[in-house]
């Protein structure tokens, strides 16, 4: 009997150590948020253990192609084509392409994409306005040059909310081929305080505003990142 008790106590001790290690891993995981305490653990838990979307949507256009991970069959790609370009909308991604982009915009983008190294780039005011970034609400936190499939160069923008974290943070990706500029917009979460997280998530309180608000959601942010990564891995221009 004593051996059984010792065995059970040892098993409980091992389980406690495992649980503590798991909670420590989840809590310290860098998910891009500055939360702490219970708020961070709750957000990170949903982020880390959310299921990766498995439904693959494919787009095969005349100019480019890519595949997209959708959360459900209720999230199809909605495609609108015009003479000047087109738009593709989904829950996690917005893709715009421009057949005749403003010459100064295309020139500034090409200067950066063709430059050696990753380098720093401070886009002009005209370029920022063309990106449709509301400078009273957002700022560009950084720009990085990356390579897509087949070595296609692209500019990856990190755009963050200035004052109201519920405005949301975004990723913008821009690339160019034979005069066509493609722009991708992807939600990259929110910047909220522990108190705001408590009110919005734990107490289910809404913060009313005339402007659109993006509430913190670890599962949504993980699936949004998955959709974006899939796009990066599969996007390619048609030859």
pTM beyond 0.85: the answer is yes
- What b/e readout covers 72-99, taking b as 16+ CB neighbours within 10 angstroms? eeebebeeeeeeebbebebbbbbbbbbe
Please give the backbone phi and psi of residue 225, each rounded to the nearest 5 degrees, phi first. -65, -40
Residue 39 contacts residue 214 (beta carbons within 8 Å): no
In degrees rounded to 5, what are phi and psi of residue 232? -60, -40
Segment 52-80, tens digit of pLDDT:
888 888 899 899 999 988 877 666 778 88
Identify the top-confidence range among 5-9, 180-184, 209-213. Answer: 180-184
Please report, rounded to a whole number, the percentage of residues in the chain having pLDDT higher than 70: 94
Helix axes 37-48, 218-234, angle to 10 degrees: 40
Please return the burial class of 150, using the count of CB atoms within 10 Å of its CB with bins 0-12, 13-18 and 19+.
Answer: exposed
Distance CA(146)–CA(137), nearest Å, equals 26
Lowest-pLDDT range of 42-46, 86-90, 155-159, 221-225: 86-90
pLDDT at 201 over 80: yes
- Chain position carrying tokens 């950084």: 142
Is a pLDDT exceeding 50 seen at residue 101?
yes
Give phi and psi for 163, each to the nearest 5: -115, -50
Tokens of 19: 């649980």
Span 114-163, pLDDT tens digits:
988 666 788 999 999 998 888 888 999 999 999 998 889 999 999 999 88
State the DSSP code for 215: -
d(CA 92, CA 146): 20
Specify the length of the chain in residues. Answer: 239
Q: Which residues, other chains included, contact 98 with Cβ-Cβ below 8 Å and sequence gap of 6+?
A: 84, 85, 180, 181, 182, 183
User: N- to C-terminal Cα distance for the chain?
Assistant: 75
């Amino acid at each position: 009997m004593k051996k059984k008790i010792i065995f059970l106590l040892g098993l409980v001790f091992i389980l406690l150590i495992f649980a503590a290690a798991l909670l420590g891993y989840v809590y310290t995981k860098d998910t891009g948020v500055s939360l702490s305490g219970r708020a961070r653990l709750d957000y990170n838990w949903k982020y880390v253990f959310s299921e990766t979307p498995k439904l693959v949507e494919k787009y095969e256009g005349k100019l480019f192609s890519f595949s997209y991970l959708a959360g459900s069959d209720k999230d199809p790609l909605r495609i609108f084509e015009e003479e000047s370009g087109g738009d593709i909308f989904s829950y996690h991604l917005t893709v715009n392409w421009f057949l005749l982009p403003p010459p100064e915009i295309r020139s500034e983008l090409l200067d950066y994409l063709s430059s050696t190294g990753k380098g720093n780039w401070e886009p002009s005011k005209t370029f920022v306005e063309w990106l449709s970034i509301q400078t009273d609400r957002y700022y560009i936190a950084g720009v990085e040059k990356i390579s897509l499939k087949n070595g296609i160069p692209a500019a990856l923008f990190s755009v963050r909310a200035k004052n109201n974290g519920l405005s949301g943070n975004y990723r913008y990706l821009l690339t160019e081929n034979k005069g066509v500029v493609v722009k991708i917009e992807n939600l990259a979460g929110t910047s909220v305080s522990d108190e705001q997280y408590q009110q919005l998530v734990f107490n289910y309180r809404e913060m009313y505003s005339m402007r659109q608000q993006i509430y913190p959601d670890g599962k949504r942010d993980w699936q949004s990142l998955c959709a974006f990564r899939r796009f990066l891995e599969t996007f390619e221009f048609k030859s």
